[in-house]
Chain A
Amino acid sequence: MIAVVGIGNPLRADDGAGPRAAEFLRCSLPEERVSVVASPCDPGRLFDAVDGCEAAFILDACTGGEPGEVHVWAGDPRGLAHSLQAHHFSLSDGAGAASSHGFGLVHAIELGCSLGALPPRLWVVAVSGSSFELGEPMSRPVRLGAIRAAWCVIGEVSQWLSD
């Protein structure tokens, strides 16, 4: 089984790119082989979503880059966490600036490594956003970026399933 998890808050403008892309994928991937969920960046929810899966794709928004640009990182969870830490793009920071009880995505992956709660192969597919204001709509470049991110996941999942 493969998990696809869209992370972010649809009520915070471009932060909703992950759930939007997951929404596209829900109808496009074989449900008997791939589970698709949208989730806040909560470690417990993330670990539940990927529990027992051989691989997982995490869709998120990020800062940095041109709005709508799609970035892909892949690897084993620990290596991926290092790659993401070294990168200058900033991924989901948990519940956002309004809360420090939330975990950022990188921290959630690090915690998952310590707990052995993640599958051996992980992808992070992120869409660059420009506005993360509460109540604002998602920008057009990011809406398009979410579609490109979904296509990217479809390609990777198809490859994975055929191998």
Chain B
Amino acid sequence: MRTRTIKIDMLARVEGEGGLSVSLKGGELEDVRLHIFEPPRFFEGFLRGRRFDEAPDITARICGICPIAYQISSATAMEDALGIVVGGQLRELRRLIYCGEWIESHALHIHLLHAPDFLGYDDAIQMAAEFPDEVKRGLRLKKLGNRIMALIGGREIHPVNMKVGGFYSVPAREALLSLRDDLLEALDEAVATAKWVAGLAFPSFETVSNDVALREEGEGGRYPLFGGRICCNRGVALAVSEYETVFEEFHEKHSHALHSRTVDGGVYQVGPIARFNLNRDRLTPVAAATANELNIEAVVANPFRSIVVRAIETVFAIEESLRIIDAYDPPPQPSVEYEVQAGEGFGVSEAPRGICWHRYRIGENGEIEFAKIVPPTSQNQARIEQDLRELIPSLLVLNEEQMKWRCEQAVRNYDPCISCATHFLKLEVHRE
């Protein structure tokens, strides 16, 4: 049997660091493993013994790209434990800052990290020479997302204004209105981005989908950011507290980040495609019209088309920001008052990369006794491996460089945030 090893020392353009090895024997695929070998970061461990109201600021440090996901998931979990509900304009402000995070994260991934794969460039620097307008557009959109986060959160990276019960302070109406003109311009730019990426050449590849995302039930339900039920395209609709009845974490030797699966062993995906497939009817008008105009399929089954879905979600996030700003009436109090009490709470939100689920138990003195955090990239690890197992047989006719290119591109379909799980990605292909 012929042995052949292909090795990429570093997979670029993903957040964090990990490795990928592909073993081929006799020309056939034997094994695919997404290695995440950096030490665990022990966030759940050192949350224990800290006060419950420190969780939003501590968990935000898990990721510099999606801190809002951790802040909202942890804050809503604590609010669940304390028996309080944050509604009205405070809830809307949380949606707005989350839109900012989606805009900056999606704009970065689309324009600077993923588009070069489709256009044959090693990176955005090469691509910028021939597509300067598109790269500039991406930077403008990212900047606007960051501005929203800074305006509401106090700063764009690891914002400091979110707390259990709401915010430390809320912006004046005039402050939010200062974003309006730029958001209107950005809406046109986001639609142009969607049209641009929809015209890219996509590899012919489809998988059987097992999508998991939040969904707000009933009339008036909105495209999900947080709240609602955890739904699956196979008919499951769970309360946030029921997550562990269907999904479980487990350890794989080759990864320091826990994997996730359904309790019956199934692989699933979270993230833009899952959200879109389950919530297309919840899109805002321009986003929905753009998706229709671009003839996006009813169920997106080609993971390479995630770039198009991210672009549609960017349109949504801008439109939703405009809606919230136009209706904004500053709440009289920046946060809801509460009494500290012992309890258990659950929180979940839609990070740009998919659902981010939290569970905490707090004691009578307000100390955190138990914490569990399930980030989206951990949940997508098995799905990435499954995609590669299904994709690689069709790549065996390619030379090594072409094969590496396509494998990296397939990993980037999920915009993996390995820093959330751990770090660093290498690709090794072993052929026997």
Q: Using CB atoms, name the residue of chain B closest to A101.
A: B15
> What CA separation (Å) do A159 and B190 show in the bound complex?
44
> What CA separation (Å) do A101 and B64 show in the bound complex?
10
B64/A43 in contact, CB under 8 A: no
A98/B419 in contact, CB under 8 A: yes
Cβ of A114 under 8 Å from chain B = yes
> What CA separation (Å) do A98 and B143 show in the bound complex?
22
Q: Using CB atoms, name the residue of chain A closest to B135.
A: A115
Chain A window 83-121, contacts with chain B (Cβ cutoff 8 Å), 1 for yes, 0 for no = 000000000000101111100000100110011110000
Cβ of A135 under 8 Å from chain B = no
Q: Using CB atoms, name the residue of chain B closest to A107.
A: B125
A100/B129 in contact, CB under 8 A: no
> What CA separation (Å) do A125 and B146 show in the bound complex?
28
Cβ of B423 under 8 Å from chain A = yes
Would you call the interface of chain A mostly helix, strand, loop, or mixed? helix
B16/A100 in contact, CB under 8 A: yes
Give every chain A residue within 8 A of B428 (Cβ-Cβ).
Answer: none
Q: How far is the CB of A137 from chain B (nearest CB, A)?
A: 20
Most chain B beta-carbon contacts within 10 A, residue among A40, A99, A100, A114: A100
Q: Which of A95, A111, A114 contacts B64 (CB 8 A)?
A: A95
Cβ of A155 under 8 Å from chain B = no
Chain B window 99-117, contacts with chain A (Cβ cutoff 8 Å), 1 for yes, 0 for no = 0000000001000010000
Cβ of A24 under 8 Å from chain B = no
On chain A, the number of residues with a Cβ less than 8 Å from chain B's Cβ atoms is: 18
Q: Which of A40, A48, A101, A115 contacts B128 (CB 8 A)?
A: A115
Cβ of B136 under 8 Å from chain A = yes
Give every chain B residue within 8 A of A99 (Cβ-Cβ).
Answer: 15-16, 64-65, 419
> What CA separation (Å) do A47 and B142 show in the bound complex?
13
Q: Which positions 24-52 of chain B face chain A at CB distance < 8 Å?
A: none
Q: Which positions 67-81 of chain A face chain B at CB distance < 8 Å?
A: none
A40/B419 in contact, CB under 8 A: no
Q: How far is the CB of B43 from chain A (nearest CB, A)?
A: 14
Q: Using CB atoms, name the residue of chain B closest to A81.
A: B125
Q: Which of A40, A44, A115 contacts B142 (CB 8 A)?
A: A44
Q: Which of B108, B113, B129 contacts A114 (CB 8 A)?
A: B129
Give every chain B residue within 8 A of A116 (Cβ-Cβ).
Answer: 132
Give every chain A residue within 8 A of B142 (Cβ-Cβ).
Answer: 44
On chain B, the number of residues with a Cβ less than 8 Å from chain A's Cβ atoms is: 25
B15/A48 in contact, CB under 8 A: no
Q: Which of B14, B125, B146 contacts A111 (CB 8 A)?
A: B125
Give every chain A residue within 8 A of B157 (Cβ-Cβ).
Answer: 40
Q: Which of A48, A95, A97 contacts B143 (CB 8 A)?
A: A48
Cβ of B179 under 8 Å from chain A = no
Q: Which positions 380-411 of chain B face chain A at CB distance < 8 Å?
A: none
Chain A window 116-141, contacts with chain B (Cβ cutoff 8 Å), 1 for yes, 0 for no = 11000000000000000000000000
Cβ of B124 under 8 Å from chain A = yes
Q: Which of A48, A100, A114 contacts B12 (CB 8 A)?
A: A100
Q: How far is the CB of B65 from chain A (nearest CB, A)?
A: 6
Q: How far is the CB of A113 from chain B (nearest CB, A)?
A: 9
Q: How far is the CB of B349 from chain A (nearest CB, A)?
A: 20
Q: How far is the CB of B377 from chain A (nearest CB, A)?
A: 13
Give every chain B residue within 8 A of A115 (Cβ-Cβ).
Answer: 128, 132, 135-136
A111/B124 in contact, CB under 8 A: yes
> What CA separation (Å) do A111 and B7 show in the bound complex?
28
Contact of A101 with B125 at beta-carbon distance under 8 Å, contacts A115-B136, A116-B132 already known: no
Q: Which of B14, B129, B139 contacts A43 (CB 8 A)?
A: B139
Q: Which positions 62-80 of chain B face chain A at CB distance < 8 Å?
A: 64-65
Give every chain A residue within 8 A of B16 (Cβ-Cβ).
Answer: 98-100
Give every chain B residue within 8 A of A95 (Cβ-Cβ).
Answer: 64
> What CA separation (Å) do A111 and B134 show in the bound complex?
13
Give every chain A residue within 8 A of B305 (Cβ-Cβ).
Answer: none
Q: Using CB atoms, name the residue of chain B closest to A40.
A: B157
Give every chain A residue within 8 A of B124 (Cβ-Cβ).
Answer: 111
Q: How far is the CB of B93 from chain A (nearest CB, A)?
A: 24
Contact of A114 with B15 at beta-carbon distance under 8 Å, contacts A44-B142, A98-B419, A101-B65 already known: no
Besides the contacts A111-B135, A114-B129, what 8 more A-B pairs have beta carbons closer than 8 Å? A43-B139, A44-B143, A98-B64, A98-B419, A99-B419, A100-B13, A101-B113, A117-B136
Q: Which 7 A-B pairs have the closest CB atoms?
A: A114-B128, A44-B139, A114-B129, A110-B125, A101-B15, A111-B125, A115-B132
Give 27 CB contacts A-B under 8 Å.
Answer: A40-B157, A44-B139, A44-B142, A44-B143, A95-B64, A98-B16, A98-B423, A99-B15, A99-B16, A99-B64, A100-B12, A100-B13, A100-B16, A100-B17, A101-B15, A101-B64, A101-B108, A107-B123, A107-B125, A111-B124, A111-B135, A114-B125, A114-B129, A114-B135, A115-B128, A116-B132, A117-B136
